Amino acid sequence: MTTTDTETTTTPYAAERPARLEWAKHAPEVYKAMIRLDAAARQGLEPKLYELVKIRASQLNHCAFCLDMHTKDALAAGESVERIVQLGAWEESRHFYTEKELAAIELTEAVTVLTDGFVPDEVYEKAAAHFEEAELAQLLSAIAVINAWNRFGVTFRMAPGHYRPGQHR
């Protein structure tokens, strides 16, 4: 809102960009399969850790829709605003996270970015030291699934701001 001595005016936000395509409507079987895959990948993972991983991958992939969704779901799961805000600078904010969470966040970055074409051994080994094999397999599945969701969200320009916590479970 902009205020002057003689008048008050409201400055509108930028217009919401429409989605390019309602992909779930046009590929419903793929969408349903993604929902089932997501549900399978989350099994055995602590809900707040799962959401931190989803948020970090979505930050790296610039997926506003998924950031909106997973931030709301993280808050609903009891995650703190402070830890969500600091996630974008986790290396400087390590003291907000457990060693296990840090290993998961670092693995998320390595799997999401793949700038060197591989996940470094030390990153994988750190995660393997904090997660049992089955849990590590679930974590990697969750990372792969959010990266797939991010690609749909970014490509089709899914608009953030309309999601309600737990809406897609």
The 3-class SS string of the chain reads CEECCCCEECCCCCCCCCCCCCHHHHCHHHHHHHHHHHHHHHCCCCHHHHHHHHHHHHHHHCCHHHHHHHHHHHHHCCCCHHHHHHHHHCCCCHHHCCHHHHHHHHHHHHHHHCCCCCCCHHHHHHHHHHCCHHHHHHHHHHHHHHHHHHHHHHHCCCCCCCCCCCCCC
For the chain, 169 residues long, give each residue's pLDDT as a single digit of tens. Answer: 444 455 556 888 998 888 899 999 999 999 999 999 999 999 999 999 999 999 999 999 999 999 999 999 999 999 999 999 999 999 999 999 999 999 999 999 999 998 778 999 999 999 999 999 999 999 999 999 999 999 999 999 998 888 888 776 6
Spatial separation of the C-alpha atoms in residues 72 and 69, rounded to whole Å = 5
Q: Give residue 3's pLDDT.
A: 45
Q: Give residue 2's pLDDT.
A: 45
